[in-house]
Amino acid sequence: MNVEYSRQFVKAAYKLTGKYKKSLQHILKEVMQVEDLANLSDCIKMVGSQNSYRIKIGDYRLIFIYRVENQVITFELLLSRSEIYRKEHEMYLRKKEKD
């Protein structure tokens, strides 16, 4: 699968340390090798969205948008569990889905 990263995601990924960084590396390798989203572990479609999915990494949530026509996964957000479900992030994802 083709993978892209948003600037916001890259900045958050650099701040990770220890087991979270290793987990993120493992998930990114898995995403690149998988041919179908159904084969991804801990991948759940977000409620109320068309193409947004989340993956749990301990206390963090990794949010990506899957574009079916190009088969491209764009990693958009990597935030803690308490921050990810805020209204401004939900609006950000809806805007990105339409682009």
Question: φ, ψ for residue 69 (rounded to 5)?
Answer: -65, -35
Q: Residues 36, 41, 47, 51: is their CA dihedral positive or negative?
A: negative
40, 57 Cβ separation under 8 angstroms: no
The parts of the chain modelled with pLDDT lower than 50 are none
Q: Which pTM value belongs to this model?
A: 0.85
Predicted pLDDT of residue 24 = 92
Predicted pLDDT of residue 62 = 92
Q: Report the distance separating Cα 2 and Cα 68, nearest Å.
A: 11
Predicted pLDDT of residue 88 = 86
Return left, alpha or beta for 14; rule: phi > 0 is left, psi -120 to 50 is alpha, else beta.
alpha
Query: Which superfamily is assigned to 2-98 in CATH?
Result: RelE-like (3.30.2310.20)
